[in-house]
Amino acid sequence: MLGQDVVAAAATAGHEVLALSRVDLDITDAVAVRGAMTDAHPDVVVNCAAWTDVDGAEGRVEDARTVNGAGAGNVAAAAADCGAWIIHISSDYVFSGRKREAYLETDPTEPLSAYGQSKLDGELAVGDAAPGRHTIVRSSWLFGTAGACFPATILRLAAERDELTVVADQVGCPTYTGDLAHALVGLCERPVAGVLHVAGNGACSWYEFATAIVERAGLPCEVKPGRTEGLGRPAPRPAFSVLDSERLAPRLPHWRDGLWQYMALRAEMAGAS
């Protein structure tokens, strides 16, 4: 989802882009990664590859850590060896969610889940493999037209049902991948070393996010607030994972603006099919 938008944004900005899917390159294979990097000899590498199944990671801890931790380190090490800058995508799940104001880059990490720990593993691996030549971008609640995401699920369910219950006790920053992709391309052009928080402006709960989606779509479905404990999900979630930056991080549009763009593009794509 994010990878496809980064490719489009980079091409639009006039950059030569080599996009490798999992079929093309398995980032857990260090030898293959090094070979691909040597062949391409890139100026900048943007690693959008990740294990993203939060609940699945609880039962497959080592698999998640191999991709998000060791795999991230493989990409960063190979990039460093060929003199490329590495931009690595991380997550708000590296935090516990116990704070009640926005998390900054210098706040201590404390992941609650196997997925969150695997993303923190990746941050540490990237820092060790490419000291001084890396940007770690933490973002959150990604949604976009190129993959399965929360708005797509809500639109489908709201069209099928009269009522939905969505958790209201998790708060974060929904981030449109189209906006994030443009910010990442900007960082390719003007690298900033270290950790940056780059997420949609503003904050909301999943319930508020779902309500905005249903209202914008004009669907007659009632959205009701629920609680996380009622879901029975394997992985614990940070209750409050709002991200803000104390550094020179790119500022993204408000999450509602990103949502309107997403829904307009989704409708356009549906009309063209």
Catalytic machinery residues: 115
- Degrees, nearest 5: CA angle 28-30-31: 135
Give the closest residue to 66 by CA, choosing from 33, 93, 35, 26: 26
Structure tokens of 227?
A: 């609680």
How many helices (H) and strands (E) would you count in the chain?
Answer: 10, 10
44 three-class SS: strand
Positive or negative torsion for Cα 13, 15, 21, 26: negative
Beta-carbon contacts of residue 218 (< 8 Å; ≥ 6 apart): none
C-alpha–C-alpha distance, residues 254 and 7, integer Å? 23
Contact 146, 4 (CB under 8 A): yes
Give CA separation, 109 vs 124, 208, 218, 262, in Å: 11, 26, 40, 31
